[in-house]
Amino acid sequence: MKNRRGHINRCTLISSDEVLPSGKYRNAPSLVGSKSGIGRFRISNSVLLFCIFVSLLLLPACAPKRQVLYDRRMPPPEKKEITKEERPSFEKIEKRESRVVQYGVASWYGDDFHGKPTSSGEVYDMHQLTCAHNTFPLGTMVMVTNLENGKSIELKVNDRGPFVKQRIIDLSYSAARILGMWEKGTTLVKVEGLGPLIEPNQPFTLQVGSFTDEANAQQLAAQLRQRFDNVYVAAMETATQRYHRVRIGPFETREQALTMAEKLSQFGFRVLVTNR
């Protein structure tokens, strides 16, 4: 329907009834040109778009819901074949016969006796791995373990002593350093008299530590492997104890072993050169 200017009114609500001579519609809806002053009812474009937008939002809510199921089963673990190189290797355990076992207090002696003759006739060297004992035959090898930290060392009895009550063994200065008791002066120890070797002698090796606790030995070995090659843990077993010795080698000659021992000492390690 056009207005006086020839424009078409948008969405005008009218009835299809007959037009009266006065220009009014019969039975026209009350929303169209009533006498109460309300103008013609129009629906703007913005209102129409808003209605469409709301309808689109409500459509998904009315749709039937579908539940999606996920299969969360874990795949079976892959079977890894163990090659020959990856198979764990078991090193031979050195067997030593334990004659006598003693527990008591150990002390050490150094400068005052350095360079003087011992009961065996040997000259005492505080830097060698020796000890003094009152009952073991001279020349006997003993394994001494510090019961406070688990460190151990194999020593040669070449002197008599100690002559102080409640002490069972006197250690050289170097032995006390390795056992970690030289600053304290005395400590509780376990002393095992060892018999002859059952396994044949080995080439020269460097012993950096010996422990009754395997975890401590493995920890030291891991530390050494960061700088040096051919580091391993060798087990030595007596009738009462198993000892775990951290070693580097073997070396064909003593001179080669001493050269490596000097390198280790520069990093603060106390090293024993041995062929046992």
Q: What is the pLDDT of residues 60-110, one digit of tens each?
A: 555 555 444 334 444 454 444 434 333 333 356 766 666 789 999 999 998
Containing 51, the helix (H) or strand (E) segment is helix 45-62
Residues 100 and 195 both lie in one domain: yes
pTM for the predicted model, two decimal places: 0.56
Specify the pLDDT at position 176.
95
Residues 100 and 165 both lie in one domain: yes
Mean pLDDT of 19-46: 46
Specify the pLDDT at position 245.
93
Q: What's the pLDDT tens digit per position in 216-252? A: 999 999 999 999 999 999 998 888 889 999 999 999 8
Residues 114 and 191 both lie in one domain: yes
Greatest distance between any 2 Cα atoms in the chain = 154
Among candidates 104, 243, 270, which has minimal Cα distance to 187? 104
Q: Is 58 among the domain residues?
A: no
Residues 192 and 274 both lie in one domain: no
Give every CB contact of residue 183 below 8 A, 6+ residues apart in sequence: none
204-to-6, 48, 165, 249, 253 alpha-carbon distances in Å:
119, 99, 39, 7, 7
Mean pLDDT of 192-215: 80
Residues 135 and 190 both lie in one domain: yes
Q: What is the chain's mean pLDDT, rounded?
A: 75
Q: Is 78 among the domain residues?
A: no
DSSP state of 63: S
Residues 101 and 173 both lie in one domain: yes
Which CATH number covers residue 265? 3.30.70.1070
Specify the pLDDT at position 238.
84
Specify the pLDDT at position 32.
41
Model confidence band, residue 53 (pLDDT cutoffs 50, 70, 90): low
Q: Which of 15-29, 119-133, 174-188, 192-206 has the lowest mean pLDDT?
A: 15-29
Among candidates 238, 234, 212, which has minimal Cα distance to 221? 234
Q: Is 18 among the domain residues?
A: yes
* The length of the chain, given as a count of residues: 276
Residues 181 and 248 both lie in one domain: no
Residues 192 and 205 both lie in one domain: no
Q: Is 195 among the domain residues?
A: yes
Cα dihedral sign, 174-179-182-188 = negative
How many domains does the chain fold into? 3
Q: Is 159 among the domain residues?
A: yes
221-to-56, 150, 224, 265 alpha-carbon distances in Å:
72, 16, 5, 16
Range of the domain at 154: 92-199
Rounded Cα–Cα distance for residues 229 and 219 (Å): 15
Specify the pLDDT at position 57.
62
Mean pLDDT of 141-167: 92
Specify the pLDDT at position 20.
45
Specify the pLDDT at position 98.
66
Instruction: Decide which of 152, 175, 199 is a domain's last residue.
Output: 199
Specify the pLDDT at position 38.
40
Q: Is 65 among the domain residues?
A: no
Instruction: Decide which of 139, 169, 199 is a domain's last residue.
Output: 199
Rounded Cα–Cα distance for residues 250 and 205 (Å): 5
Rounded Cα–Cα distance for residues 91 and 233 (Å): 9
Rounded Cα–Cα distance for residues 150 and 147 (Å): 5
14-to-3, 10, 193 alpha-carbon distances in Å:
14, 12, 124
Mean pLDDT of 187-212: 81
Q: Is 189 among the domain residues?
A: yes
Q: Is 31 among the domain residues?
A: yes
Specify the pLDDT at position 108.
95
List the structure tokens of 91: 């090193």
Which CATH number covers residue 144? 2.40.40.10
Residues 125 and 223 both lie in one domain: no
